[in-house]
Structure 1
């Protein structure tokens, strides 16, 4: 059998650059181990397959019925595109939305049309749930960055997979920690790290332990009147991260600045924030009754705070992480906002209409996976420019060392600094 052409895989629609690949040695090691173990495809689940390298290499080797979960919308679309270009299952546009008609098997989304070897369903996409894992005897995992995300995944495998299931997890040695072994040990009776190979390492977890009655995630935390709910893969968990808090304070909608309103609509309103000169605190920067998008929403802290402060606003929260989108939905519900905040799982708001927003709120990441790369923020700046109507406002918080002001001006429009500390800068950009 010819070797699978890993080098032909692409990251698209994620950021592409010479130093960013669509696969690594860990993918190859996981594929080699799966083929050596000889499980049929129907008994294999793949989690964290960033751009489809594991799933497609196994499919190319003749396995069918593989179940796959990817957290990121970009990864789901890359898998679809790579599958189509390799002739391994046609197009998979993504997983079904929460309210969409279920497709594929068990609520998942099967590959559309036969692959080049004639199989109608070479792999089936699922969320992180029982449909993904029930009956699975081999689970392949690209280790996530977050220990919380790993804990949620390990619990799910022990909870739903077969009693004799084996979890083979892998990662680049430089990013692996003993803490990962400890987390796996909470859900498995045996955890064995193997020798490093090609700068990657596999960890084999077996003998699943009885799962607790209640899963460890999502978790909930209170923040001065704002409730945050978080799944393991959501950035900052149930904490209110510092950058978000700074942006909320500048906008006058931080949790501690809110007081409950007793008007006919209920909800919350903002206490006034003292205005100052350039670079100081500002108040009432934007009108309340407008369409506001929390772009890259995480747990939905910005969206929920804005909706609580402005009962008449139309608020949309969107994130490319399924864990984040699920967390934002739960945050909205926990704050009595389920009917007022629309949450979408999407790549940089690509399914939202052009020029549909009056305001965009943004706390952009500066990592792509484990790589520090400004491309992630640039894509969101470009998305904000597309989503905003002319004259619309983008409020951004970022690490002061990154100096994004010139780029925001170039991509979006005239940008002013509203607040700056040694750690964070808040800017306001007007869509040209």
Structure 2
């Protein structure tokens, strides 16, 4: 499960953070198809986009390679897997809003699940890289929908889509030169019942409407008055924003592994909490609460994900629960909203002295864990 053999080489690859007996692999057939292309070329300054765990990175270790991902966890995985394979860490890691290196001679792109994120990435490539820069992309065949193909035609020339191999396809193309209007890729909508205006970068969870699980928790929020609250896995920041309104004296921290989610949250803090005191509100990227101090918070609200790109997994939620236990002060509370079918009660019960159901409806349940 951890040894990748390809025409480009052999490496040991782990997902991040590494887990004992992990049943999920750190690469897929689309990575393997791109490795076939990499092995036939002599690229010196590649730009990698959406390389989730480092499968595209390891063949270029030691070169002037730049890798872009919206996921902070992916950034951690790249360095982990370079060290794990005793490879030089000459990598330049960037996030989606950073400037692209204009010395790039080729782009390798894993097509993301989010159509809005793909368009933003293609638009940024077309605006910032030299015209005719070579691009190779790959994904499961089912992701190469007519809408996806249309985006490649819009921002690229000489677009060629391969036949299906291992249920995946590759795309070969050359970048056009197209001006970029970043605001065109921002979405916004009003939430009048909570007096909030929410802005979202491309690819951010619940970009077009309020997530129904988040709405359920908004209707059953914890009592105001804690010293420090954390919105964990914050997305657009809506839970923490509403709590900050309910409890204006509280310090609030928003945490997410998505750079674009945190950029959206920062804009939403500025829009909805314009008179905030200095240092009262903070938003930061992290792998769950890896960088949060022990016993530093009184309340954590959480709408945990159960997808990681195309993989369905509970391990992120469980990591959130473990980190919350460490970060909460004595008497602090973790409030979790989740789909009813997800088996979260027992993991919470193993960590916390008391776990109570606050509310439920036909789709969701809210748990309060203490101690």
Q: TM-score, normalised by structure 1?
A: 0.78
1:70 Cα offset (Å):
2.2
Alignment map for 1:24-423 (pairs within 5 Å):
24-40=28-44, 42=45, 44-59=46-61, 64-89=63-88, 111=89, 121=90, 123-129=91-97, 131-224=99-192, 225-251=195-221, 285-337=222-274, 339=278, 340-423=280-363
- The answer to which of 168-177 and 316-325 deviates more is 168-177
Contact 1:152 1:216 in 2 (8 A): no
C-alpha distance in 1, partners of 2:270/2:168?
41
1:19 has 2:11 as partner:
no
C-alpha distance in 1, partners of 2:294/2:59?
37
C-alpha distance in 2, partners of 1:34/1:228?
41
Contact 2:54 2:81 in 1 (8 A): yes
Contact 1:69 1:127 in 2 (8 A): yes
- The answer to which of 362-371 and 402-411 deviates more is 402-411
C-alpha distance in 1, partners of 2:130/2:8?
31
Query: Does the C-alpha gap of structure 1 residues 2 and 29 become closer, same or farther in structure 2, counting only changes over 3 Å?
Result: closer
C-alpha distance in 1, partners of 2:187/2:266?
13
- The answer to which of 10-19 and 394-403 deviates more is 10-19
**Corresponding residue number in structure 2 for 1:427:** 367
**Corresponding residue number in structure 2 for 1:114:** none
Contact 1:396 1:427 in 2 (8 A): yes
**Corresponding residue number in structure 1 for 2:3:** none
1:73 Cα offset (Å):
1.9
- The answer to which of 130-139 and 378-387 deviates more is 130-139
Query: Does the C-alpha gap of structure 1 residues 207 and 352 become closer, same or farther in structure 2, counting only changes over 3 Å?
Result: closer
Per-residue CA deviations over 1:79-101 (Å, capped at 9, x if unaligned) read 11111122212xxxxxxxxxxxx
**How big is the alpha-carbon RMSD for the aligned residues of Structure 1 and Structure 2?**
2.2
C-alpha distance in 1, partners of 2:293/2:338?
26
Q: How many residues align?
A: 361
Name which one, 1 or 2, has greater alpha-carbon Rg: 1
1:176 Cα offset (Å):
4.0
Structure 2 residues without counterparts, runs of 5 or longer: 1-5
- The answer to which of 174-183 and 385-394 deviates more is 174-183
1:18 Cα offset (Å):
4.1
1:54 is paired with a residue whose SS is coil
Query: Does the C-alpha gap of structure 1 residues 374 and 237 become closer, same or farther in structure 2, counting only changes over 3 Å?
Result: same
1:74 Cα offset (Å):
1.7
Query: Does the C-alpha gap of structure 1 residues 235 and 360 become closer, same or farther in structure 2, counting only changes over 3 Å?
Result: same
Structure 1 residues without counterparts, runs of 5 or longer: 90-110, 112-120, 252-284
1:216 Cα offset (Å):
2.9
C-alpha distance in 1, partners of 2:175/2:15?
35
